[in-house]
Amino acid sequence: MAEEESVNKRPRRAFSSTEKLMMLNMFNSFKTASPSASHNEICKTVASSMGVSWTSIYRVISEKKTNANLRSPKKKKTRLTVCDKIDDFTKCAIRRIIHSFFLRNEIPTLDKVLSKIEEDGSLGSFKRTSLHLIIREIGFKFSKRCRNSMLTDRDDIFFWRRNYLRDIVKAREVGKNIYYLDETWINEGHTMPKVWSDTTITSARAAFMSGLSTGLKNPSGKGKRLIITHVGSEDGFVEGALLVFESKKDGDYHKEMNSDTFENWFKGMIEKLPENSVIVMDNASYH
């Protein structure tokens, strides 16, 4: 049994009224020049000359018999998007409103941006869904927050890191217990896994030249903040050495972790470590 072959049908081409008239005139010209030729032969000759299918010639002749005037295909109307309906001034104003949140290190949600637009009064009225489309159209994307920072290798950092690695190697060679100490924080701003970021700002210089910002800094968002201090090693955290207290300020948490608080905690924590231990910490002022 012969295999069945699937043939994709070529889509029918739409011709303008000028192209149809050219086909019809050529058909009449060939018919006048060769009165003995059949209808099919003339159609195929015209199709070959014009580089179209012979069925297209048939359709044009049939259309002329039915309608006195040959018509061009209807053009599809292009619908304007929400972003097409607003001018560049409004787009720039919305961009600056979003960057005003970045400069305050506050997360720009749709509701907050919409509220600012309404307060302005000169930018018009937008629905929440329309504003979402506009923000995307002008170059923002709603993406997962990136907390990676590029290491800047200044000379002092390079030598500091080299000396640290040498000291750690020596401590390991003599069998010392190495513990790592640090502080951190957590606040309500960390519950936002995704935020708006401006994809048109590619560098700090571009942001400066445009009078805009480079985006949100971490942490961002208002709310209660807990300051956490702990120490641990490759075997895990030291039991009973955790220090957690609530921050009373919205600024840098280092202002509340002062030398008195740190020293009181450190005295109690160091008694929990075995002898012959090394504690690794950064160069915070209270350390």
How large a percentage of the chain has pLDDT more than 70? Answer: 83
Residue 1 has pLDDT above 70, yes or no: no
Residue 186 has pLDDT above 60, yes or no: yes
Model pLDDT, residue 121? 83
> For 268-279, how does the pLDDT look when each residue is reduced to its tens digit (9 = 90+)?
999 999 999 999
Nearest residue to 274 via CA among 178, 183, 172: 178
Q: Is residue 20 within 8 Å of residue 62, measured between CB atoms?
A: no
> For 71-82, how does the pLDDT look when each residue is reduced to its tens digit (9 = 90+)?
766 666 677 777
pTM to 2 decimals?
0.39
CA 44 to CA 56: how far, in whole Å? 10
The one-letter code for the residue type at 246 is: E
The one-letter code for the residue type at 90 is: T
Model pLDDT, residue 219? 55
Most confident of 26-30, 49-53, 78-82, 172-176: 172-176
Q: How many CB atoms lie within 10 A of CB 216?
A: 22
Q: Give 5's pLDDT tier (boundaries 50, 70, 90).
A: very low
Lookup result for tokens 């080299």: 162
CA 213 to CA 170: how far, in whole Å? 45
CA 142 to CA 136: how far, in whole Å? 8
- DSSP 8-class letter at 94: H
